[in-house]
Amino acid sequence: MSRHQLSPSPSDQPSSHLSRARPSPARGAGSNMAASGAPGSRQPGEAWLPDSAAAEVLLVTGYDFLQGEVEQIVAAAGGQLRVVADVADAARYWDAAAAVLVGSDVRELPPRRRAPAVLVGLNGEGDSLWHLAAALGAERVAVLPDAAAWLAEYLSRSRSPEAGGLVLGITGGCGGAGATTAAIWIAQAAAGLGVRVLLVDGDPWGGGLELALAAEETPGLRWPDLAGASGSIDPEQLADSLPIVGGFSFLSWPGSRDRTAPVDATTAGGVLDAARRGYELVVVDIGRGAEPVQLFAWDCDRLLVVVPAQLKAAVATARLLHELPPVEAALLVRGKAGAALDGGLIADAVGLPVQGRVPELRGVTAAGENGRLLDLGKRRSVRHFAASVLDLLDGEIPVGDVP
């Protein structure tokens, strides 16, 4: 799921791709990570003709302007489009469609129909699009015309899907919950089982995930290096360009006091799409701010919320759930066994099941400051915690038994 505001429209400029050439791992190489070539594009002067065998895309909307935008996008993706203005009339085509898009004028779905693939809206509709997507259960949100290039590529890939990894988002139910620590330990444990893992720092204001890994000097790209990337990113080149520590790749904000170049939704969406295609497990340390939640939480297949075993933290977590997308979610309770507020009470208060308990270890705060979290991750209690999380993903990533 993602907040996609990619530009430009495929009718104006083709999507860009990373070349297959292996890049230098030196910092600052991100500006060379795009080369032209759009899926479903045609040679200059060649008329686009619908493929009679192409899978049908269903668009449900009464907005004429939205229909016109999507018609161009589906054409660029090499698909066929059926437009139905009325939700009730759309029911007969719903299940047979390769992808279902609904406009922002749709307020309810036909009974017993699967959730739409994408909610399509227009610039200027603001955060109401994400609240509507959550209510409808839409998998993704596309804001047009900015997201036109992304939507064309998404529809093109949906007709010939590639194997994709699982994107697992970790966030804190309240400030200081320990989401970064949990994300690092989960990534470390999965990598130890032979899973191809990427750990993503989703919080530009978090101080830099690389500091908690003692990896600030490890060569490879960081988020600011990718600020100029757009469109489709080659997953192999992305993986070759990222630093590795503890057996897994990571993408961090710099752990420095310098002001860094911002990364917009264009880059974030492209990077996570490439990460999904290049790794078996992508662990995203989302952060709690509204911007990182909208940028990253909507790209996640699963969400885990870390909450301390405290009443105030449980209340804050319950409030946070209103901002999260409609994906499967569970709690990771941080605290010692036998705490006054146990997992069952927290689950009842928040309304989510408890998937695991983050161990309360002495010295974990200092370890995070000194970059020694990976050392603590080798402890048996931490490995058992990580195993409880990976059990949730059994069958979705190739995990074995935690020793």
* pLDDT tens digits along 279-308: 999 999 998 888 888 788 888 999 999 999
State residue 382's pLDDT score: 95
State residue 230's pLDDT score: 61
State residue 338's pLDDT score: 61
State residue 202's pLDDT score: 93
Q: Is 107 helix (H, G, I), strand (E, B) or coil?
A: coil
Q: To which residue do tokens 């969406």 refer?
A: 269
Other residues' Cβ atoms within 10 Å of the Cβ of residue 94: 18
Sheet arrangement for strand 3-4:
3-4, 140-144, 118-122, 99-103, 56-60, 80-84
Q: Is 111 helix (H, G, I), strand (E, B) or coil?
A: coil
Query: Where does residue 203 rank: exposed (0-12), middle (13-18), buried (19+ CB within 10 A)?
Result: buried
Secondary structure string (H, E, C) spanning 252-294: CCCCCCCCCCCCCHHHHHHHHHHHHHHCCEEEEECCCCHHHHH
What are the tokens at 235?
């997953």
Among residues 99, 96, 82, 233, the alpha carbon closest in space to that of 156 is found at 99
Among residues 307, 298, 390, 296, the alpha carbon closest in space to that of 353 is found at 307
Can you list the positions of beta strands (E) in 335-379? Answer: 354-358
Separation of CA 143 from chain center: 16
Rounded to the nearest 5 degrees, what angle is found at the Cα of 187, between the Cα atoms of 181 and 190? Answer: 140
Rounded to the nearest 5 degrees, what angle is found at the Cα of 39, between the Cα atoms of 295 and 149? Answer: 35
State residue 399's pLDDT score: 57
- Within the chain, which residues score under 50 in pLDDT? 1-53, 402
State residue 1's pLDDT score: 39
**DSSP H or E run through 9:** none
Q: To which residue do tokens 């036998």 refer?
A: 338
